[in-house]
Amino acid sequence: MNSCIFCAIASGQTGAEILFEDEQCAAFRDMNPQAPTHILVIPKRHISSLNDLGQAPHTLMHHLFLTVQNLAESLGLSRTGYRVVINTGADGGQTVFHLHLHLLGGRSMQWPPG
């Protein structure tokens, strides 16, 4: 998808602080962090939102969540805890329409979210 900023990051056309990547996914720091650690994990193929997950291989979400868990471990968040968020659609607060998992950590989170 030409105009998708996360496709551009995944393909290397646009810069980002990439922390991890493999053939299926990339993880990079959010440009507007909401916690001391705020990382986005995205599939490299374009999927607009969780609503379109049916287009993806069944193993994709397992891979994305495993990547989040590995990052949380390597960044020292596993013991203190962290939050994983998938904003979906307008009411969900989604602003970039390329599926992404937010990994947030390094501070205590509130519930319910605002």
Nearest Cα residue to 102 out of 27, 46, 45, 47: 27
Residue count, binding to ligand AMP (CB under 6 A): 11
Q: Is 102 a catalytic residue?
A: no
Q: Which is nearer to ligand AMP, 10 or 72 (CB)?
A: 10
Interaction with ligand AMP in 28-47: which residues (CB under 6 A)? 30-32, 40
**What is the footprint of ligand AMP within residues 71-90 (CB under 6 A)?**
87
User: Does residue 95 belong to the site contacting ligand AMP (CB under 6 A)?
Assistant: yes
Fill in the per-residue mask, 7 to 26: x = in contact with ligand AMP (CB under 6 A), - = not in contact.
Answer: ---------x----------
Show Cβ contacts of residue 112 under 8 Å, excluding neighbours closer than 6 positions.
none
Q: How far apart are CB 26 and ligand AMP at their closest, in Å?
A: 11
CA-CA distance, 30 to 6, in Å (whole number)?
11
Question: Considering beta carbons, is residue 75 or 96 the nearer one to ligand AMP?
Answer: 96
Please report, for residues 48, 80, 107, the alpha-carbon distance to residue 60 in angstroms, rounded to integers and kept in the order given. Answer: 14, 27, 28
Q: Are 99 and 24 in contact (CB under 8 A)?
A: no
Which of 18, 79, 74, 70 has its CA nearest to residue 44?
18
- Residues interacting with ligand AMP, by CB under 6 A? 5, 16, 30-32, 40, 87, 93-96
